[in-house]
Amino acid sequence: MTATPTLASTREELAGLLADARRAGDRIAFVPTMGALHDGHASLIRTARGATDGPVVVSIFVNPMQFAPTEDLDRYPRTLDADLAVCAAEGVDVVFAPSVEEMYPGGFSHESVHDGVTVSPGTLATILDGASRPGHFDGVLTVVAKLFGLVRPDVAVFGQKDYQQLTLIRRMVSDLCMGIEVVGAETVREPDGLALSSRNRYLDADGRRAAVALSRALRAAQERAAYGVPAARWAAMSVLKAEAGLELDYLALTSVDLGEPPEVGEGRILVAARVGTTRLIDNAPIVFERSDQAGTASAASTTSGRNS
C-alpha cells in the first residue's frame, strides 16, 4: 500500500481521524517513534499492520524530556518528509506529528515539567541505560503514557533493540492497568550484524567498522553460554576490549526481565558503548546451559567500561 497517510499535528485532529474506528470497535495498532525512520521502523510498522485489520498509527515526536541537557537533542535528525514516505510505503493510516507545545502545553523545560504529573519508572530505570542517563526513562514513560492516552491503542509495537525501554513499558502497562498489548519486535540488522539505529548516520567509516564489535560480542557470548555466565561474559569482553575504537559503557548479563542472570535457562545480554561521540546500544537473547563453578552468576552479571 502506498496511499499517503493522513497527518495529524494536534490532539483534536488525531481524535477526529480515529473516531470512526473507535465507534466501529476496530482494533487500533500503534508504533511510537522519534522519526528518522529506517528499515527497523518499517519492520515495526509491518508487525503492527499484521496485528490488526483496523488503523495503524505512527507517532513522530522527538521527546525533549528523555534527553539530558548535555545530550544530542538539537542534532537528532528530523526528516518528516522522508518519514511520511516510509509510512506510505508500509500502509500507515495516520501519522501523529505533534509539536513540543502540543505534547507539553506551555512549553518544556526540565525544571518546569516535574511541576506536573510524570511517570516514575521505579528502580529498574536506575540500572544500565538508566545509570548512564539519569532521568531518561522518566521521560520515555511519561511521553509514552501521554501518547497511549491520545491514541488509545489496542496494541503497541516497540523494538527489542531498546530492550530496557521495552521491559519498562511492559511493566508500566501492567502496573497501571492500561489494557494494551505490548509487542516486542526483533532487532533489524545490517548484513554485518550492526543493529539499525537512527544514530548510525553519525558514524564515519572507521566508527562504522568499530561499531560492529557490539554485535560480534553478543554472538561470542551466545556461543559460550553453554559454559555459564562467567564464560559468556569473558567471551564478550574479549571482543570489546580488542576494539580500540570503542569506549565501553556497560556489558550486562541478566534474566529476561533484567534481574540476576539464571545459572541455567533464558537470559539477556546487553551492551552500550561510545564510538567517537555516538552512543550505541545492542542486546540479544542468551541461553545458559550450566553454571561455572569458578564463580557465581551474580558476581559476573555486569561489567562497566568505566571500571574495566
- Positive or negative CA dihedral for 270, 275, 280, 284? negative
Amino acid at 297: A
- Burial (CB < 10 A; 0-12, 13-18, 19+), residue 242, is exposed
**Residue matched to cell numbers 531498546:** 162
DSSP output for 183-217: EEEPPPB-TTSPBP-GGGGG--HHHHHHHHHHHHH
Amino acid occupying residue 118: T
Longest dimension (CA), the chain: 62
Taking alpha carbons only, the member of 24, 100, 26 closest to residue 57 is 26
Quick one: CA dihedral 156, 119, 12, 105, positive or negative?
Answer: negative
Catalytic residues: 41
Give the H/E segment covering residue 252.
Answer: strand 247-255
Cell of 33: 517513534
**Strand, helix or coil for residue 195:** strand
Q: What residues have CB less than 8 Å from 102, skipping those under 6 apart?
A: 9, 10, 11
What does the CA dihedral 268, 201, 71, 272 come to, rounded to 10 degrees? Answer: 20
CA 120 to chain CA centroid, Å, is 18
Residue 158 neighbours by CB distance under 10 Å: 23
Q: What are phi and psi of 135, to 5 degrees?
A: 85, -10
